[in-house]
Amino acid sequence: MKTYLPSKFILERDAEKCIQCQACVSQCSFDVNSYDARDDEIVSNSENCVGCHRCAVFCPTGAIAIKSAPLQYRENYNWRPEVIEDITKQAETGGVLLTGMGNDKGYRIYWDHLVLNASQVTNPSIDPLREPMELTTYLGRKPDRVEVNPDGSLKEELPPQIRIEVPVMFSAMSYGAVSLNVQESFARAATEMGTMWNTGEGGLHPELYKYADNTIVQVASGRFGVHAGYLDAARAVEIKIGQGAKPGIGGHLPGEKVSVDVSQTRMIPPGTDAISPAPQHDIYSIEDLSQLIYALKEATNYTKPISVKIAAVHNAAAIASGMVRAGADIIVLDGLRGATGAAPKVIRDNVGIPIEMALASVDSRLRQEGIRNRASIVVSGGIRNSGDVTKAIALGADAIYIGAAALIALGCTVCQQCHTGKCAWGICTSDPRLSKRINPDIGARRLANLLRGWSLEIKDMLGGMGLNALESLRGNRLQLRGVGLSDTELEILGVRMAGN
Ligand code: SF4
Ligand code: SF4
């Protein structure tokens, strides 16, 4: 069927600068650029351009400029271009519109309405270049009270903990959704920086077992790749109930992305669709969740914390309370802006709540109920920089998962084409030709650099507040103030207005 959709981008090539090296032809995975032998020139079909900028970055002479196509429609606040395009696509395909990455709508980003404190005359600030600053974090259940023997040892045994040296971990991204080179980059960077990476729901490739000490393995509704060796290999096990990009629905890895290697890791036949059902079929109540948590604790001999991940939704605080009472050692809240390899656009853009609100209400609820010590809180969903991380800690998080930010460190330009399997940056693809574009040596270095930079900035912010340990900031909402927020928003966040 002839498409009525106009081009979103225009690729302009400066003929004076172009040396016809054809780098743009080989780099584009969306068939935008080609060499026309008859006219001996490089030509471009802007209609296919997704704005990923791979060709412009790799053009050796800077001959390429990618621009947004000028507005094609009469201005209309209701019938915006995106709305018209979505209807047009569905009229042409008759299907669910799929997309990748996270919610890009204009919901309020509360991090941008929260500001941090700094010491001035009294309680002087600390210079992190001269004084030790502690970022080490322990994730897992803490005892109700701590009693110490005369020799300094603890009277009761501490439940299993994960120790991380920086409060930022790489969030769940499964093999198949991302390439093995991407996962290896995560695993190596996590090992170097003393933090964790997460397998996602696709199993653990044999080549990555050596990074077990820094690996969190997921048990999701599809149970792909779950076996005793997989659970044994991990530092912690995460039960995935939901994710922020698609709360309430399952996952779908199309058969064409299920290569032989992916199929062996997931323990399914090659070329078949990997469908994760919407619910975990053995969890229909908090009691069921409790049984699965204890089954996993039994299976791992009570040596690993068990984490439970949910999407941030309306009753997150009550749900989280139930999860903690069911025995979860870590609870993961994934907010409205959480990213994904593929999700129905209507779900991604309309379901869930901002992570800032979910975090504040969950932390408050667990404190009110006197059970905050029983589980660590990890949050994710659009965390962009060390400022967001520091504010999340002050709001009550123990640690943060990053997904999109980590992919951007690897080269992702947030073109939202992950679901096509054609990622030109070699990230969200199982195409062997494209996957080679991520070199794990370089990927791990870029990711470790990102975490190193954020750690230095977090220490600067802590020192500025006169604090020398992240522990002193955790849940310390007095270090936050709100700007441009209503009384109700401030009340939910548990934060005072700036100037107050
Ligand atoms: S990469 Fe740049 S120089 Fe090479 S063919 Fe394309 S536009 Fe020309
Ligand atoms: S991972 Fe690749 S396809 Fe997905 S948004 Fe980033 S650059 Fe685009």
pLDDT for 229-285, tens place per residue?
A: 999 999 999 999 999 999 999 887 878 788 888 999 999 998 888 888 888 888 899
Note the helical H segments in 312-410: 316-325, 345-350, 355-368, 386-395, 404-410
pLDDT at 72: 72
Give CA–CA dist 132/126, Å, rounded.
9
> Which uninterrupted H or E stretch holds 399?
strand 399-402
The finding on whether 26 has its CB within 6 A of some atom of ligand 1 is no
Nearest alpha-carbon partner for 419 in 344, 348, 350, 336: 344
| DSSP structure class, residue 255 | G
Give CA–CA dist 300/303, Å, rounded.
6
Give CA–CA dist 312/318, Å, rounded.
11
Atom 1 (ligand 1): residue with closest C-alpha?
Answer: 59
Nearest alpha-carbon partner for 105 in 296, 285, 347: 347
Give pLDDT tens digits for 31-74.
999 999 999 999 999 999 999 999 999 999 999 999 998 877 88
Give pLDDT tens digits for 340-396.
999 999 999 999 999 999 999 999 999 999 999 999 999 999 999 999 999 999 999
Tokens standing for residue 330: 């870590």
The finding on whether 23 has its CB within 6 A of some atom of ligand 1 is yes
Ligand 1 pocket test target in 22, 26, 34, 66 with most atoms within 8 Å of CB: 22
User: Which ligand 1 atom sits nearest the alpha carbon of residue 25?
Assistant: 6
**162 φ/ψ angles, rounded to the nearest 5 degrees:** -100, 130
Atom 7 (ligand 2): residue with closest C-alpha?
Answer: 412
Beta strands (DSSP E) in 69-182 are: 98-99, 114-116, 137-139, 162-164, 168-170
> Which uninterrupted H or E stretch holds 84?
helix 81-93
- Whole-angstrom CA distances from 487 to 198, 230, 361, 373, 495 are 38, 48, 15, 29, 10
Give pLDDT tens digits for 75-110.
899 999 899 999 999 999 999 999 999 999 999 999
The finding on whether 22 has its CB within 6 A of some atom of ligand 1 is yes
The finding on whether 66 has its CB within 6 A of some atom of ligand 1 is no
Among 105-119, 178-192, 277-291, 342-356, the range scoring the smallest mean pLDDT is 277-291
Q: Which residues of 19-30 are buried (b: 16+ CB within 10 A; e: fewer)?
A: eeeebbbebbbb
User: What is the CB < 6 Å shell around ligand 2?
Assistant: 52, 100-101, 407, 412-418, 423, 425, 427-428
**108 φ/ψ angles, rounded to the nearest 5 degrees:** -60, 135
Is 99 in a helix, a strand, or coil? strand
The finding on whether 28 has its CB within 6 A of some atom of ligand 1 is no
Give CA–CA dist 500/238, Å, rounded.
40
* 495 close to 488: Cβ distance less than 8 angstroms: no
* 430 close to 259: Cβ distance less than 8 angstroms: yes
